[in-house]
Amino acid sequence: MEDQTTTASDSQLGQMLGGWAEAFDGLQVLFVTYAFSVIGAILILIVGWTISRLLGRWVKTLLKHTHRVDPTVSGFFAVFVRYAVLVVVVIMVLGQFGVQTASIITALGAAGLAIGLALQGTLQNIAAGIMLLVLRPFRVGEYIDADGISGTIKEIGLFATELQTLDGLYRMAPNSQLWNVPVTNYSRLPERRHDLVIGIGYEDDIEKAQSVLLDLAKADDRVLSEPAPWAYVSELGDSAVAITLRYWTKSADWWVTSREMTKAGKIAFDEHGISIPFPQITYSGSLELERPDASDAEKTGDGGKTIDNGKGDGRNTSRDDDDEGPATS
């Protein structure tokens, strides 16, 4: 009996050892088969990670030294390049283990297309934001007008641009709207022109009016000497002769200078006896009124009635509708 028990135990132990041996042999075969793949994958991950970081830093440094590129764009492109390299590294690692990378690339492409369709408006704003930050049609602190969207630029982001209007209101505009319309930048160029137009009477001295306006321009330090101010007759209107003073000033001083020059022009014309006429119309010809005919005099006016006076003499008596009571004979 004991011999049978010992034999059974030895048999179980032999089976267990045989199973362990088979498992170990399988691990050896698996290790031999995939050892180079694992080592290659690890090396690809290390090298790819290093290259992605170095390439991201290089792109950021390169764009930072380019004055036309905003720091926001340089950081965005650096992150984009880094993760693009990492995606390629992951696909290469999977390829080391026999995974069909073509199917993975196809799946990533389909997923990207679906995301692009779902976020079409957002992606348009991002693309427009990148173009705005690269080409810089406006910068922070500049005053612009883009098809009715006007204000001082406060911040330019990848999705939207923040502005402040002249009356102190906050406005956020999607970048796609700012990119797809003409933009007028009132602050980009250092100098700006202003045409001050004032009408004088036809009886006033044109040369005197021009001289007065030129003296005003020369007396103001904010008016630039080059190009020199110029006064000329711009129009012969119905009621006045339009005198235009054209001068240049700094863009930062344009708003205040133009308003103060308009006020100074009115005061100077008043001091020199030069009139600024208001619109008027001169009539010529006869204004004689037509006299009514005798036949019309026999008829009643508005609302009148013709009644018989009862005497049979054919005479008519007119009364208003407001008169009460019948006519008396």
Distance of alpha carbon 243 from alpha carbon 245, whole angstroms: 7
Does residue 176 contact residue 121 with C-beta atoms inside 8 Å?
Answer: yes
pLDDT confidence of residue 192: 95
Distance of alpha carbon 297 from alpha carbon 42, whole angstroms: 119
pLDDT confidence of residue 28: 65
Q: Residue 329 corresponds to which amino acid?
A: S
pLDDT confidence of residue 307: 42
pLDDT confidence of residue 64: 73
The pairing of beta strand 149-156 with beta strand 170-174: unpaired
Per CATH, the architecture of 191-271 is what?
2-Layer Sandwich (3.30)
pLDDT confidence of residue 290: 56
What is the residue extent of each domain of the chain?
28-116, 138-185, 191-271
Distance of alpha carbon 245 from alpha carbon 234, whole angstroms: 9
Low-confidence ranges of the chain (pLDDT < 70): 1-35, 67-70, 72, 101, 118-119, 280-329
Same fold, 28-116 and 138-185: no
Residue 227 DSSP code: S
Three-class secondary structure of residue 166 per DSSP: coil
pLDDT digits (tens, 9 = 90+) for 249-289: 999 999 999 999 999 999 999 999 999 998 766 666 665 55
Q: Nearest Cα to 151, choosing from 184, 189, 194, 192?
A: 184
Tokens of 160: 């939207």
Q: Around 219, how many Cα atoms within 13 Å sit in the side-chain half-sphere?
A: 11
pLDDT confidence of residue 135: 85
Distance of alpha carbon 196 from alpha carbon 198, whole angstroms: 7
Q: Nearest Cα to 160, choosing from 151, 27, 93, 168?
A: 151
Asked if the 138-185 domain carries CATH number 2.30.38.10, the reply is no
SS (H, E, C) 112-160: HHHHHHHCHHHHHHHHHHHHHHHHCCCCCCCEEEECCEEEEEEEECCCE
Asked if the 28-116 domain carries CATH number 3.10.20.30, the reply is no
- The angle formed by the CA atoms of residues 230, 256 and 187, to the nearest 5 degrees, is 85
Distance of alpha carbon 132 from alpha carbon 118, whole angstroms: 23
Helix (H) or strand (E) holding 314: none
Residue 223 DSSP code: B
pLDDT digits (tens, 9 = 90+) for 50-96: 888 888 888 878 877 776 666 767 777 788 888 888 888 888 887 77
